[in-house]
Amino acid sequence: MSASGLTIRPITPDDLAAWRELFRAYGEFYETAFDDAQLDHVGALLVAEGSGIDALVAVEGSGDDSAEVSADGSGEADAVIGFAHYRSFPDTFSTRRDWFLDDLFVDPAARGNGAATALIERLGELARDGAEPGQGGTLRWITAASNERAQRVYDRIAQRTTWVTYEVRL
């Protein structure tokens, strides 16, 4: 997917340096510090085939896959400005495949250009394209109750559910 200088595509090993900085900032937003071992582990999962989790990146620039990604996002080089981590799983209620968006982040300096919406829309396309006819399932995600800016985006493109989320730390 490419529109007005924004390309949404699967992450590649060449994206990992820029992704690390974005993922580190994402963790800071949620008051979590990722160490290098965590970043190495998650990054390896994202580019490994069949790991169970995949990623899309939002790239601002020419959209030319041969372009070098600038470390600071300046100049003519393409810059990774956002990511979406996701996974697919069988839904026991419908027998379809459902999709879960684990993490979504756009560089604060690049927000407002539609990157978050484009990442979610591209993931929806992948889910529909990979499904048998009529078997598209549902794309779900959660966000912090305090993340009002993200909720304004989500409220435009998705339906807020009535489900309550619980967790047990193991």
pLDDT value at position 20?
98
Question: 68-75 long-range contacts, Cβ below 8 Å, gap at least 24?
Answer: 69/14, 69/15, 69/17, 69/18, 71/17, 71/18, 73/107, 73/109, 73/110
| Average confidence (pLDDT) over 38-57 | 97
Is 165 part of a structural domain of the chain? no
Does residue 123 register a pLDDT over 70? yes
- Cβ within 8 Å of residue 49, ≥6 positions away: none
Q: Which domain holds residue 105?
A: 2-157
Residue 12: count other Cβ atoms within 10 Å of its Cβ: 15
The mean pLDDT of the chain is: 88
Number of domains in the chain: 1
Which domain CATH number covers 23?
3.40.630.30
Burial classification of residue 161, based on how many CB atoms lie within 10 Å of its CB (0-12 exposed, 13-18 middle, 19 or more buried): exposed
Query: Has residue 168 been placed in a domain?
Result: no
| pLDDT level of residue 37 (50, 70, 90 thresholds) | very high
The token duo for 147 is 């993340």
**CB 28: neighbour CB atoms within 10 A?**
11
Q: What is the pLDDT of residue 62?
A: 62
- Tell me whether residue 86 is in a domain: yes
Over range 157-168, report the average pLDDT.
93
pLDDT for 152 equals 95
Q: What is the pLDDT of residue 112?
A: 93
113 part of a folded domain = yes
Mean pLDDT of all residues in 34-52: 97
Residue 163 lies in a domain: no
Confidence of residue 127 (pLDDT cuts 50, 70, 90): confident
Percent of the chain whose predicted confidence (pLDDT) is above 70: 84
For 68-87, the pLDDT digits (tens) are 434 444 445 689 999 999 99
